[in-house]
Amino acid sequence: MAADRLQVDTIVIGGGIAGMQAALDLADQGYRVALVEKNPSVGGKMIGLSKVFPTLDCCSCITTPKMAAVAYHDNIDLLTYSEVQSVSRNEQGFVVQVLKKPRYVIDDACTGCRSCELVCPLDLPDDANEFGRTAHRVIYVPFTTAVPQKALIDIDQCVFCGKCLQACPSDAIDFSQLPAFLEIQARSIILATGYQVTRYDAKKQYGAGKLRNVIDGLMMERLLAPTGPYGRVLRPSDGKQPASIAYVQCAGSRDETLGVPYCSRVCCMYAIKQAMLLSGMLPLADITIYYMDIRTFGKGYEQFYRSAQAMGITFVKGKVARITEDADQNPTVRVELIDDHSQVVERKHDLVVLSVGMLPGGDPQALYGVPTSEDGFVRIPNYNVAPATTTQEGVFATGTAIGPMDIVDSIVTASAAAAEVSAYLQSHYAAGSLTDAERSLIHA
Amino acid sequence: MPDPTAESQTAAAGKINASSPAGAPRIGVYVCECGGNIGETVRCEQVANALGKLANVTIARHYQFMCSDPGQKLITDDITEKGVNRVVVGACSLFLHEQTFRKTVERAGLNPYLYYHIGLREQDSWVHHECPADATAKAIRMMSAGIAKARLMQPLAPVHLDADQRVLVIGGGVAGLRAALSIARRGLPVTLIEKSHFLGGHVAQWEHLFPTDEDAAALLEGLIEEVIAESKITIYTGAEVVSTKGYVGNFDIRIRVQPRGVAKDFAAVDQAIAACPVQVPDEFNFGLTQRKAIYQPYVGCYPASPVIDREHCTRCNECLRVGQNGGIRLDEPPVEIDLKVGAVVVATGFRPYEPFAGEMGYGEFPEVITLPQLERLLATNDRLEWNARPVRRLAMIHCVGSRQIEGMHAPQPDGKVNDYCSRVCCTATLSAANRIHTRFPNVTIYDVYQDIRTYGRGHEDYYVRACKNGVTFLRHLPEEIPEVIRSEKGAEYPLLVKVKDRLTWGEEIELPVDLVVLSVGIMPSPISDLVDMLKIAPGNDRFLLEVHPKLRPVETAVAGVVLAGTAQGPMTVQESCAAAEAAATKVAVLLSRGKVELEPYVAQVDPERCQGVGECVCVCPQEGAIHLETRIENGKMLRRAVVTAANCNGCGVCVSVCPSRAIDVQGWRLDGFEAMVEAITAETPALEGVA
């Protein structure tokens, strides 16, 4: 377990795909890295996805080995369920205070056997991973492939029946656990704080989240994932297998009324990918994608779009104006068919997926003094040439913290951030600003 | 100062357990469902049950994701608790996760080469997804072959070699410059070579860069200044790779440097250029202007001294007459330099798509130009004029040379069309449109497109601004390609653009214009010789291919050769720099410890069996991999073959010719192959070898 004080070359904030990649790239070069993740497991948004474009690899195949790698790397201290409380500067860089939230389970003792889950009498909706569609126990391992494989207790819901205490073969349960504080001396900081999706209930024209068979792209990812709640695609209102599915593109992006004027860059491709997966799972279903512009710009993406067209997925140019529902809760979209003499039509579907966009995962101004641009993402002053360097010396940013991007680009920019950080560290070590004594403190 | 990270690297490298496990093989067998990728076709539980009955199999399991942490824990627990000493995993391709599982078994104290990987996904479930029963039977056969091999596996140790830390960066455009700078700042020496005689690549030709609207020349000047100031970087311009040998950590690369023909301190530059009588199209201005045979592409170029274009120089000696004896050296020969480098960064960049003669009027009507030409026109003129006439109306047509459709568009010489999106042209076009609007507000601009792809951070602003600036957008379907034709004689505007516009109910619209600008796509630089020399591969789109877009996005299949920038695919300046920095990181991971690790799959000679015939030496394709040595033993002179592991690539040709079966490739021994073939062809594979 990590000591109370830790000295590292870099502290990476965020254990999603970008944070993990940046941490691994630096640790593989011999730098000491602390990786701080606020959730109980690393993996970020990516671990919850189904298959990923354009190769259609299952996301676990790409993510889980990296999750294991950050957990076992000799040069990485992994701090999950931990949050940065404060950051201050000193001569050696930054002093970062980290709060380790209590899991009420002793990390070192828990083997992840899940015996506690079997005896716990209470179920809670799994909001964090499954939008409340499934349940987990009050004491639970976050998900099957979570890293670390350690249980935690939702203490507010616990009735302290003590069953887990009896069931645990390694005496790992500790109801009296308190938050722990850890001070990290870091030469540099990487913000890999990721994104959140735009709210699917934000637009009243699209039902403001009240139409049961209107879901968002991330929810559909779970329905499509092999680890998902049902193992198949069912619509929420009545559990019916949908025979007609529609995607509404730019449902949270390129829309000034939502305060998101920019393109979120990933939605075209994820909608097409989901449509392809759906047509594999439901070969008879009609799938329509309503779009403004199809933006399949990346390597192999245009060819991916062509394949989707060849598979029979229908692409309709037109911004959906309104979604309503009929008595059977079938959503009906109102749209102008631009390529078909601009007729305005209403079309009924069984399930509508809103292709929601990306918002920044957090505002780094208060903790790190790092300003954001008008779009809310971290401001990068020399954007073209030094895409990870922020306005604050020693603070870098990467992945979706610097703007919407897909997984491929997140991974590349994470490696780019590692290059900028290692150059920064080398310039400091060359100047001799870190003494041998200080280095020996590492992992003291 | 020594690299502060060196010590912890040594510590991190750890020690491999090279000792052979005692006792009989105890094999752990793991069948991965790969989410549904394998499990939906192959009945993994049935496979595990069948394999569990085979001899020496201690445990056989199936699991949803073997590569995840809980999956890996199944393996490490079985090694420590059940005494498993050989591991066979049936999962995705070994390309994806061989390294993952090697690390897993190593963590549990087992030699990493006592693990064998079977590709159940690519070789079974994906290709047989319509016949689950047969796929399950095949999985059992494939895995029982793996188990047969595992029984014979011996511990191996990777070959550790000293590595040259110098890195060769090929290409002096923005990606090459950025990569060189990042690598040097990480502490590794760099040789940067550029084929042309000037640094900067295509960015030197642009006026402003999106999404920052910054001055391209200023950006480049800043970057070049930093590169020049970096003492660890050696630059050669006019330089090309002529041969390559070796492997990661130890490449021998010969470069040829063409002379500039002009001394660095030559002062009478302007006079010499004025004296030159030759006129050739100036590639810097995309042929819009002419230049001399002695030239500088632009003011502020680096290096600043001019160069003599030997292809077009007529050796008239006019430039020699302007004075300063010895300043101009027409007969200077090229120089060849041998470099020893540990890694190579390929940053060879792109070239703009060149439309065919007659494609949308290009080459047929002088009023049809490309977007790069328009950029030069804007950069070099105060007024927007073409053929000495003011441009009043202008049409910009997107996707020329991109998103092409087979059968509708003329193919390139290789028979393929450019079916990819070139990614940067939409925003570049709108950036130009907005600049024209700002500088020449009376010009009417039409934008003819299929989809506007202003995808990146800040890109959408250009679209919004163009709409506000009154740019008229016309949208056509991919199969309804716009036409550019000559207007009738006496018409006010020389050209007509015919578009079937889907934004106005499919109306056929004719746009009378003064100038048509084709928004041409991006193609890779022609580098087939270099591709062959480095043994790397282009993809279907002709851009260089990465190993995997997510797992190893800037690495090629050749260890030590990495990609930076548009050699890999269309990219913006920001994306090129990010890719270049990612390449720098991969190089640093490889070389910063001064050692590289190679697979132990090399030839091994059994000196008892070797007769010293030397057939192996004759057929070996690798220089210095195998040779004969003579030694005296018991008064007899013996000749025996000896392998130099560092030079052997494990191809096995020597194995096939040895008359006494004295050679084997470690890790891939003949007895292993025989056992695998027997297992795979067994009558009842699941029961074969049951004790």
**Complete DSSP assignment for B295-332:** E-SSTT-SS-S-EE-TTT-----TGGGGS-TTSB-TTP
B499-528, pLDDT tens digit by residue? 999 999 899 999 999 999 999 999 999 999
CA distance B46 to chain A (A): 20
Q: Which CATH superfamily is domain B167-258+334-349+525-595 in?
A: FAD/NAD(P)-binding domain (3.50.50.60)
Architecture of domain B351-523: 3-Layer(bba) Sandwich (3.50)
| Calpha distance B30→B50 (Å, rounded) | 12
- Enumerate domains of chain A plus CATH numbers: 5-101+179-194+361-440 (3.50.50.60), 115-167 (no CATH), 198-358 (3.50.50.60)
User: What is the pLDDT at residue B268?
Assistant: 86
CA angle A166, A170, A171 (to 5 degrees): 55
CA–CA dist B315, B331 (Å, integer) = 10
Looking from the CA of A89 toward its CB, the CA atoms found within 13 Å total 8
Q: Which residues of B touch A75 (CB under 8 A)?
A: 8, 12
Q: Report the DSSP pairing between strands B167-170 and B239-247.
A: unpaired
Q: Which of B69, B477, B503 has the highest number of chain A CBs within 10 A, making it the mutation to test binding with A?
A: B69
Could you tell me if B27 and B150 are in contact, meaning their C-beta atoms sit under 8 angstroms apart?
yes
A416: phi then psi, degrees, rounded to nearest 5: -65, -45
Cα–Cα distance measured from residue A333 to residue A368, given in angstroms and rounded to the nearest whole number: 44
Q: Measure in Å the smallest separation between the Cα of A126 and chain B Cα atoms.
A: 20
Task: State the Cα–Cα distance between residues B333 and A326, nearest whole angstrom.
Answer: 82
- Examine the pLDDT at A1 and tell me if it is beyond 60: no
Kindly determine whether residue A387 and residue B579, on different chains, have CB atoms separated by under 8 Å. Answer: no
Contact between chains at B71 and A64 (C-beta distance less than 8 A) = yes
Architecture of domain B603-665: 2-Layer Sandwich (3.30)
Which two tokens mark A156?
Answer: 């507010």
The answer to whether the CB atoms of A338 and B502 lie below 8 A apart is: yes
Structure tokens at A415: 């490696």
What's the first-to-final CA gap in chain A, in angstroms? 12
Topology agreement, domain B6-157 and domain B351-523: no
Residue burial A282-311, b: 16+ Cβ < 10 Å; e: rest? beebbbbbbbbbbbbbbbbbbbbbeebeee
pLDDT tens digits, one per residue of B34-59: 878 899 999 999 999 999 999 999 99
Residue numbers in A near B554 (CB within 8 A): 412, 415
Number of neighbouring beta carbons within 10 Å of residue B360: 22
Q: Which residue has the tokens 């410890």?
A: B593
Whether residues A299 and B464 touch (CB distance < 8 A) is answered with no
Residue B403 sits at the chain A interface (C-beta within 8 Å): yes
pLDDT reported for residue B344: 98
| pLDDT tens for each residue of B614-658 | 999 999 988 889 999 998 888 888 899 999 888 888 999 999 999
Tokens, residue B468 = 């506000």
**Per-residue pLDDT tens over the stretch A401-441:** 999 999 999 999 999 999 999 999 999 887 554 444 444 43
Q: Which residue has the higher pLDDT, B448 or B70?
A: B448
Distance CA A173, CA A168 (A): 7
Greater pLDDT, A15 or B266: A15
Most distant pair of Cα atoms in chain B: their distance? 105
The pLDDT of A319-345, averaged and rounded, is: 94
- pLDDT of residue B400 exceeding 80: yes
Question: Could you tell me if B237 and B329 are in contact, meaning their C-beta atoms sit under 8 angstroms apart?
Answer: no
- What is the three-state SS of B206-231? CCEECCCCEEHHHHHHHHHHHHHHCC
* CA closest to A318 among chain B residues: B503
pLDDT of residue B687 exceeding 70: no
For the segment B352-368, the average pLDDT, to the nearest whole number, is 96
The answer, yes or no, to whether residue B145 has pLDDT greater than 90, is: yes
Instruction: Identify the bridge partners of residue A343 per DSSP, sorted by sequence position.
Output: A337
- Its ipTM equals 0.94
Which tokens is A330 given? Answer: 């079938």
Amino acid letter, residue A363? D
Q: Is B72 helix (H, G, I), strand (E, B) or coil?
A: helix
pLDDT of residue A172: 94
Using DSSP bridges, classify how beta strands A358-360 and A195-197 pair: parallel, antiparallel or unpaired. antiparallel
Per-residue pLDDT band for B196 (boundaries 50, 70, 90) equals very high
Q: Which of A7, A21, A61 to mutate to test the interface with B (most CBs of B within 10 A)?
A: A61
- CB distance A403 to A290 below 8 Å: no
Q: Which of B255-269, B311-325, B381-395, B432-446 has the lowest average pLDDT?
A: B311-325
B9 CB neighbours in chain A (<8 A) are: 29-30
Q: So what's the architecture of B6-157 in CATH? A: 3-Layer(aba) Sandwich (3.40)
What band does B22 get if pLDDT is binned at 50, 70 and 90? low
pLDDT level of residue B686 (50, 70, 90 thresholds)? low
Give me chain B's average pLDDT, please.
92
DSSP code of A129?
A: H
- Which of B3, B5, B408, B430 should be substituted to probe chain A, the one whose Cβ sees the most A Cβ atoms within 10 Å? B5
Domain-wise residue ranges, chain B = 6-157, 167-258+334-349+525-595, 269-322, 351-523, 603-665
